[in-house]
Amino acid sequence: MQQDPTEEIQILLRFKGVPNIITLRDIYECNSKIYLVTDYMSGGELLDKIMRQKSFTEMEACAIVEVLASTLNILHNQMVVHRDLKPSNILYADANESPKSLYICDFGFAKQLRAENGLLMTPCYTAQFAAPEVLKMQGYEKACDIWSLGVILYTILSGRIPFATGPNDPPDVILQRIEMGPPQLKESCWNSISNEAKQLVLSMLNVDPSQRPTAAEILSDPWIKNRNSLSKNPPYSLQLPDAQTVKATVVGFFKALKSSPKTELEPVGSSFLAQRRAKSKTLPGDGSNSST
């Protein structure tokens, strides 16, 4: 089964040049396969940095979350959701591994929110024309990204993964734990973590999507605002075997949760954009502008 890259390509072109979003440089088609050429991220995955560094301070974790929340805020304001936010899709552009060099990558499961008539939902369109049930679904889609960011923050702060005890946990067991509510934060590593950080983690991992903060609300959270006064002492230190287990568990955890169906790759003429253009050609005198 092949995945239709149309949506991913459209999104990457829309956000080309936006900080902390991977840049699409070229597209090639060869032997019925489509190759997307992006900037090379030489710094590696965010989770690999945990393995090398062994721990993060609250100040370091805050700087990372601020960059990611700011990037999600840009996407969400333009009615785009990533839907596959995980450490392996967050890469450093270079070996310096500064938070500002983090990039969100792999938009293969990303989605441009559309109204029932198929038109892209811009902020203006949403405010004026969207039905309440459409707005509710839009909020739910965005909340999925926030939940994933909460899992990432939990892992950075504690060196553990919420709702999972090992890389071989069955998906149904993980989902049962999630449905029981946010984690209890009883491990010893949480004792030295600020209440503000713990409150933010729990709010992002709320089982009710409507109760999770938006990306904009995360950016205005006291923990983010007061980052200069946060602890510079790491709450834990991973040994190499532990770090390898953490990485394997994170990979297994997000793999278990991935449930979005992949779409069969169809001819270019079958894409939504091609159909829109074909339809516009049959309507002479129509002065409306279409946008992608």
Residue type, 126: T
Distance CA 263, CA 258 (A): 14
Give Dmax (Cα) for the chain. 69
Q: Spot the catalytic one: 38, 77, 122, 126.
A: 126
Contact 12, 107 (CB under 8 A): yes
3-state SS assignment for residue 111:
strand
% helix, strand, coil for the chain, step of 5: 50, 10, 40
281 labelled catalytic: no
CA atoms within 13 A on the CB side of 236: 22
Single out the catalytic residue among 6, 20, 71, 89.
89
Number of H helices, E strands in the chain: 11, 7
Is the separation of the CB atoms in 265 and 4 below 8 Å?
A: yes
Q: Quickly tell me which residue has 């840009």 as its tokens.
A: 74
Please indicate whether residue 86 is annotated as part of the active site.
yes
Task: Indicate which residue of 6, 49, 71, 84 is catalytic.
Answer: 84
From the list 49, 71, 106, 221, the catalytic residue is 106
Helix (H, G, I), strand (E, B) or coil at 184: coil
Q: What are the tokens at 236?
A: 């834990």
Active site residue 289: no
Cβ proximity of 209 and 143 under 8 Å: yes
Q: Is 126 known to be catalytic?
A: yes
Catalytic residue among 6, 20, 86, 142: 86
Q: Tell me whether residue 30 is exposed, middle or buried, using C-beta atoms within 10 angstroms of its C-beta: 0 to 12, 13 to 18, 19 or more.
A: exposed
Beta carbons of 153 and 201 less than 8 angstroms apart = yes
Q: Which residues are catalytic?
A: 84, 86, 89, 106, 126
